[in-house]
Amino acid sequence: MPESSVRRITWRTADVLKVLGLVTLFLFLWTFFWRVYTAIFVGLIAVLLAMVLHAPAKYFSRWVPFRVSFAITVLLFLASLVGLGLALIPQIVDQVSQLAGQLPTAIDSVREWLEDRTGASGDGELTGQINRQFGEFVGRFVPLAFNLISVVFGSFAIIILAIFLAMQPEVYRDLVIRAVPLASRPRAERIYDQSGRSLKLWVLGKVITMFLVGLVTWIGLLYFGIPGALALATLAAMLEFIPNFGPTIAAAPAVIAAFSISPTTALYVAGFYFVLQQIQ
């Protein structure tokens, strides 16, 4: 092939600058996201909670003024949170302590079961190291994850933001619509309203699913005699919010706790979680 017919691909200075600009923009956005992801998460949860608060208030505003129905809805919501907290938190804390006490026995049961199946020799020192490492992990992670001040202030911020969003959603809707060019605003309004309705239905379905998963998990774990059934069921309900991976993560501590009873029970519990996930 003649050399003149070969097309040479060359990089001009402008091309190099464009690539560098795109890479720099990507790195900036990535860094920005990881710095503000907590705020984004709080905002997302607040929006979802605002939809939960606004829906019943809007419904009952047919008979009473919206401000009255909204105030009643918020008061009932806060009273429900306080009631559930007073009823469940002491039990959950107690059951988490029980689970922590059962874990060394469960780990020994797992080791013995693996030895019986594989014929490998036991290593008591290794088991001791696992227990110590797990104890150190719990000692460092639990205070960080369940720091009372962080939880209280984070929950307070979410609730306050959700109340403001639910009180006057039209104001924030208008702000979003005004950011769209004038010619496209009618279409943007339709898309916004349709998205809002779909998101409300999704939130309602997710709340119902989380409640049912928690209830069924609690009943199932009680049937199998698993220690800490309420705490594990609460964990399963909360992790149900995470698609795909949430139920799998929730099953792990339950299966480990079941090993403290017997490997057969652990197998039944694993099957129970698998069937429950497939039914969903």
pLDDT digits (tens, 9 = 90+) for 142-159: 554 455 556 667 778 788
Confidence of residue 75 (pLDDT cuts 50, 70, 90): very high
Please compute the mean of the pLDDT values over residues 83-110 and round it to a whole number.
70
How far is residue 124's CA from residue 115's CA, in Å, rounded to a whole number?
A: 12
How far is residue 124's CA from residue 128's CA, in Å, rounded to a whole number?
A: 6
Helix, strand and coil content of the chain, in percent to the nearest 5, comes to 85, 0, 15
Confidence of residue 229 (pLDDT cuts 50, 70, 90): confident
Ranges of each domain in the chain: 16-279
pLDDT at 216: 92
The HSE-up count of residue 164 (CA atoms within 13 Å, CB side) is: 8
Contact 107, 126 (CB under 8 A): no
pLDDT at 15: 65
Q: Which residues contact 11 (CB under 8 A, 6 or more apart)?
A: none
pLDDT at 164: 85
